Amino acid sequence: MSFAVFQGILDGTLLIFLAVLLAYVRVVRGQLRRLTREKTASSGVREETGEGMALFRESREALEKTIREMDALSREAAGRTDRLKLLLHDAQQWLEDLERREKGPTSDPASGTPPPEQKPSASGQSSGPHRPSRSEPRTDIEKVLYLMEQGKTVPEIAQSMGRGEGEIELMLGLSRLSDSRSGPGR
C-alpha cells in the first residue's frame, strides 16, 4: 500500500469523523432549542429553564472539549504524516544506496562520478581500495546488522544509535529485501 493511499485513507477518515461530529452538534443543538422552547412555553417554571440552560452549558462544554480534542488529534495526525513522509524518503534513499552498492564501484554515467581512486598506503604502495572489515561497519544498516549479530535487540540498537525502533526495523527490512533480491547465488 503506497504512502499516498495511506494518507488518502487517513484524510478520508478524518473528514468522515468531522462530518459525523457536525451532524451530532446540529442534532444536539436542535434538541436543546426544542427543549428550551417546550419548557418556556409550558408553565414557565424558571427552575426547568435553569435546568435546561445548565444542560445546554454542559453539552456546549462537552462539545467544545471534543472539538479541542479533534484539533489536537488532527495536528498529531498531520505530524505523523510528515514523519512518515520523511521516513519513506529516507527508506527510498537507503534502498537506492543499497542498489548502487550492489552494482559495485563502477563509474555511474548518469551522475558522472568515477569509481573511487586507490590511495597509496603508508609505505607508498597502492594496496587497492580500503575495504572495512566486518568489525568496521560503514553505513547505519551495516551497523544495525553488526549489532544484531552481536546479539543486541532492536530497542538496544535503537538506543545505542540514537534512532527510533521503527527506523531500526526499517533498516533490517531493507537489508532483508536487498538480500532476497540478490538471490541465493550471492
- pLDDT at position 30: 86
Q: Under a CB-based contact definition with an 8 Å cutoff, are residues 97 and 171 in contact?
A: no
Domains held by the chain: number: 2
Q: Is residue 127 part of a domain?
A: no
Residues 79, 12 share a domain? yes
Domain end point (choices 94, 120, 149) = 94
Q: Is residue 112 part of a domain?
A: no
Residues 84, 145 share a domain? no
Strands (E), the chain: none
Question: Over the chain (186 residues), what is each successive 10-residue block's mean pLDDT?
Answer: 78 88 88 77 59 83 89 87 86 87 64 47 43 60 89 92 89 81 59
Per the structure, the complete domain to which residue 54 belongs is given by 3-94
Q: Is residue 89 part of a domain?
A: yes
- The reported pTM is 0.32
Residues 22, 90 share a domain? yes
